Structure 1
Amino acid sequence: MHFALPPRKSSNPPPYRPRSSRGGILQFIPGRLRRVRPRAMVLAGVLFLITLFYLLSGSGGSGSSRSSSGKRIPKLAPTGHPPVVLVTVLDDRKFSKGYLEMVKENRERYAEMHGYKTFFPSVTDYDLGSAPSSWALVPAIRHALTTFPNCRFVWYLDQTALIMNPKLKLDEHILASGKLDALMKKDHPVVPPDSIIKTFSHLRAQDVDLVVTQDNETLSPGSIVVRNGDWARFFLDTWFDPIYRTYNFQKAETHALEHIVQWHPTILARMAIVDQRVMGSYAERAPGLEEWREGELVVRFGPCKGESGPQTCEQTAQPYISMWKQAFGV
């Protein structure tokens, strides 16, 4: 689903006509204010500067707290222990217990190899109201950030996916600054194939807080990385807004993500799109989809019909189960 943009201004605006300079800066001040005594205006200016200094110093902000002695305690950045938390929401209403246990083992073995942690909430842990169960990924990421406040990144990987290459460490394969700078697509349409909203051409890896892939139709949040921090909480709260959950988007949280990325520059300015093969190739062969190749990090069994027939995804996964276990030495 593509969203219309506000009308553009005319490309042939009328010539600029400067206002009369008579009266200097006072011409911009309403007449009633011009009649205020100079001393009162000076006092108002001083109060404004005091207020501005108070806000900028963080005395009234949420970025710090105060000790019992009254000294301000700065908010500490995440220590990076663990560096990555791997999150997968499990739904035993749609998938068999054996399949979900296999998915958990896949994540746990990968995490253990690289010093990461895993987090496996159930879809029923979250009150989604009438929204589709796929929305659970958003509060699950938020939940992981609360449970592991010192982690550096959260990697959400859908239950219809497997990690296939244990040698590829996420924070080196994708997230290292030099690596991400080379991987991310700049000045690239957000919505394939030709959205007029594009990723920022000047974006640097050090400024990226969200890493996502695309398929041939839209953004693909089945494999998504979020950097821990205040921006992450703002982003997740925006994405999970009740307005979007009740809007009845055709692809639920996927189209909601597509919407907020296009309409909120604050989010677009922190997002990097990487090639689907980097962390989300598909098992199925279909036009416009990147089919998984041996050696790639992740294979996803989507778009499969897991919601209407769980065996469809599980059957698609069967050839890859023995492959990942062999790669992991299981």
Structure 2
Amino acid sequence: MSLSRSPSPNADGGWSSPGLTTNYVETSGRASPANGLRGANANSNSVTWDGARKKSSKVNGGYPSFSTQNNGFFSRHMRNISSSLPKFVVTPDDSKYAEKEKLGRGRWMPNRHTKLGRIANFSINTFQKFRLRFLIVFGLIFATILFYTTPLHYYWRRAPLLGGGKKFVIILAANQGGGVMEWKGPREWAIERDSIRNKRRYAARWGYDLEIVDMSTKKRYAHEWRESWEKVDTIRNCLTKYPDAEWFWWLDLNTFIMEPSYSLQSHIFNNLAANTYRDINHYNPLNITHPFTDKYLDEKSLSPVGDGKAKSINLVVPQDCSGFNLGSFFVKRSPWTDRLLDVWWDPVAYEQKHMEWEHKEQDALEFMYASQPWIRPHTAFIEQRKANSFPPDACNSNGNDPLIHYDRKGRDFLVNMAGCEWGRDCWGEMYNYRELSNLLNRNPWELFKEEIVAVLWFKLTGQKSIESGSANDMFRPPIIRSATAVLDRSLFSRTFPIAAARIADHKLISASRGKLDKSKELLRVDRVSAVREDPDPALAAKGGKCLLLKPEVKPGDPTTWSAILKQAVEAKEMSVMPYELTLDYNYWNYLDIMKSVLPEDSQEEIPVGFSIVGHVAHLNIREAYLPYKNLIAEVLMDKNPTIRTVINKVDDVGEKSEFRTFSYELLAGVDDMNVEIREEDCTFRFDYSQVYWNSRLNTEHRRLVALFSPGSVVCDVMAG
């Protein structure tokens, strides 16, 4: 058998097909010519092997000879790969295509004559060219969405080495079960609900722990209850409950976090030394002598700033116009803190001083700071607007103290509505700051809708767009700008067409309400009860009830119903019907009415602060709101039943009278200035127009009286 690299199909060599067997090759099956062809017998017509190979390559078009060596993947599959690639027609005229029967074969090709085809081709080519970059961007977007829509961001921000949220605990004093109050009205419950929701959202955003203290439970089961002295004991319990936490932030119920985008780390604790001050002489409303001068004390106690290191700070307290304010303060876990809390909670000091210290543990801390040298080196103070801003008319009636009062332009972190229960509207202030916080912290999509889309829509149609917001945002009073001169209360009646679920058996009202609450279809609007009598008088006489549903639920459109509601309707436990909810002037609060009647350019600083002396409300209206003073007074008197007279101060106290009285003008009600006030179990009756009286001096009255003893001679050198 021949061992040629190109074996012949014939047994004796050579090729059977004509033209393949030449005179240049023997029929022995050799792949190369015999030596005799290149020997001495070769004549001028002899053809060498090199020449024959060159001529053969020209005949065969330059294709290489058959070979089984060094054939790669692309060499073997070049034709298949090229046939699968997209075809491009160079000429716009398909008639010039050489092989018309093959036109359009292979992959689908969009028609390049149309815009859609050109766009599709451009998109495909661009994606193929930058597909790796597109995949990376898509992966980053998907990872970001996954991070923020799952609990991953919560655990990320709680991790000690990442966000560090586990080091912080927010303690909120709330009377969820009624607390120390015998009765709570709708406004008190609304204040508590808004405050708790605000703290929960903030804690969840940054990975903090939230401890809500139920005072009613604490009062009932605590082994030692001290009225209004619960902060110290609560902090001690939290130190045990959260062993991994480092800082504890106490907040009163009447506080609202205005800037939830500020974390405690970035706002305060990442640079604690720069955000606090150790020397109380920087702002010293209590006139405490600082530092100590006793020679037996150590160097830290004699220094006005302690050791000057941030790590030695264990207590951070803000100061208002009267001294320490514990509506918002920070405590750090440390042996020093354990000692402080033990001394602070000393039962002997409580028994001896709790009747003298009006502000309870706040006055106790001020006493310890003033008298105990070991307290000061570890105590720091924070600017009030950094963590405890006051609303206007708190501390003073001017409402513009740059060190104390909230500044919208400065985007202050937190507002503490301290003392709002003494002559101010707590719910009105809470509602006002809640809405302001929502306005200031709108996301980019909300800003786009409200600042661009809504403005363009109004310019094009003259109508304001209807946003699908929360139920509270939808139930707003009508805009009555023409009512600035005369208050027409009948104009504030408004009817909202919504849906209601009629309960087949009124005994199942609680179970039905629980189902709709679970499906989140129950109407939840401030000061509006979701349980109503059946609009059919016959069914109402039999005790029939219905439950109000959200505006998104349509009576005649089952596609807007949840599975729970559909199942209840199919079981004939309830039926969905139309319902007309009517809200009138008595429903809207003071701020609602003011926003409805005042011009849009006067909405930022609506007057909310005033003093109450007996049945008289004393206003100090700014010049910009003087044209609406009578309207403001009427609404104020309507929304505060105990007020029968509303006056406005027209000059400064003591400017024209040595007895510190002031001139006033009557805005609403009867001109009766004979008031009756009860303070410290004493009743005072006097003419408010002839006697200087300031309800905010109640604290000072108590402090001074506590200093007197029977038989003391008191000389008031500031009596005028």
TM-score (norm 2): 0.32
Counterpart-to-counterpart distance in 2, 1:325 and 1:138: 33
1:100-119 superposed matches below 5 A: 100-119=192-211
Q: CA deviation at 1:233?
A: 1.9
Greater shift in the superposed pair: 120-129 or 227-236? 120-129
- CA gap 1:128/1:270 in 2 versus in 1, 3 angstroms: farther
Counterpart-to-counterpart distance in 2, 1:149 and 1:328: 34
Structure 2 counterpart of 1:200, from 304, 324, 328: 304
Structure 2 counterpart of 1:161, from 255, 268, 274: 255
Q: Could you say what secondary structure the match of 1:146 adopts?
A: helix
Q: CA deviation at 1:180?
A: 1.9
Aligned 8 A contact 1:81 1:152 in 2: no
Counterpart-to-counterpart distance in 1, 2:420 and 2:211: 24
Partner of residue 427, structure 2 = 314
- CA gap 1:212/1:269 in 2 versus in 1, 3 angstroms: same
Counterpart-to-counterpart distance in 2, 1:109 and 1:81: 14
Aligned 8 A contact 1:284 1:302 in 2: no
Residue 259 (str. 1) matches residue 367 (str. 2):
yes
Counterpart-to-counterpart distance in 2, 1:128 and 1:90: 20
Q: CA deviation at 1:193?
A: 4.8
Partner of residue 245, structure 1 = 350
Partner of residue 213, structure 1 = 318
Q: CA deviation at 1:128?
A: 8.2
Aligned 8 A contact 1:85 1:151 in 2: yes
The residue type equivalent to 2:304 in the other structure is: F
Partner of residue 298, structure 1 = 414
Partner of residue 56, structure 1 = none
Partner of residue 233, structure 2 = 139
Greater shift in the superposed pair: 285-294 or 100-109? 285-294
The residue type equivalent to 2:227 in the other structure is: P
Aligned 8 A contact 1:191 1:258 in 2: no
Counterpart-to-counterpart distance in 2, 1:169 and 1:200: 30
CA shift digits 1:243-299 (9 cap, x unpaired): 333312122111101011122222211110111011001013343671111211100
The residue type equivalent to 2:237 in the other structure is: H
Aligned 8 A contact 2:315 2:378 in 1: yes
Q: CA deviation at 1:213?
A: 0.4
Aligned 8 A contact 1:226 1:232 in 2: yes
Counterpart-to-counterpart distance in 2, 1:108 and 1:102: 10
Partner of residue 88, structure 1 = 172
Aligned 8 A contact 1:279 1:297 in 2: yes
Counterpart-to-counterpart distance in 1, 2:383 and 2:438: 25
Q: Could you say what secondary structure the match of 1:299 adopts?
A: strand
CA shift digits 1:74-127 (9 cap, x unpaired): xxxx99661211101112344633321211110111111111110001123154
Residue 172 (str. 1) matches residue 266 (str. 2):
yes
For structure 1, the 5+ residue unaligned runs are 1-77
Aligned 8 A contact 1:209 1:232 in 2: yes
Partner of residue 280, structure 1 = 388
Counterpart-to-counterpart distance in 2, 1:324 and 1:255: 32
Counterpart-to-counterpart distance in 2, 1:312 and 1:260: 34
Counterpart-to-counterpart distance in 2, 1:272 and 1:128: 32
CA shift digits 1:153-176 (9 cap, x unpaired): 110011111111012111221112
- Number of equivalent positions: 247
Residue 185 (str. 1) matches residue 289 (str. 2):
no
Greater shift in the superposed pair: 224-233 or 124-133? 124-133
- CA gap 1:327/1:244 in 2 versus in 1, 3 angstroms: farther
Q: Could you say what secondary structure the match of 1:261 adopts?
A: helix
For structure 2, the 5+ residue unaligned runs are 1-159, 292-302, 443-469, 471-720
Counterpart-to-counterpart distance in 1, 2:238 and 2:438: 26
Aligned 8 A contact 2:168 2:247 in 1: yes
Greater shift in the superposed pair: 246-255 or 271-280? 246-255
The residue type equivalent to 1:82 in the other structure is: K
Counterpart-to-counterpart distance in 2, 1:167 and 1:201: 31
Aligned 8 A contact 1:284 1:301 in 2: no
Larger Rg: 1 or 2?
2
Q: CA deviation at 1:327?
A: 4.8
Compare relative contact order (CA 8 Å, sep 6+) and give the higher one, 1 or 2: 1
Q: Could you say what secondary structure the match of 1:283 adopts?
A: coil
Percent of paired sites with the same residue: 25
TM-score (norm 1): 0.68
Counterpart-to-counterpart distance in 1, 2:192 and 2:223: 21
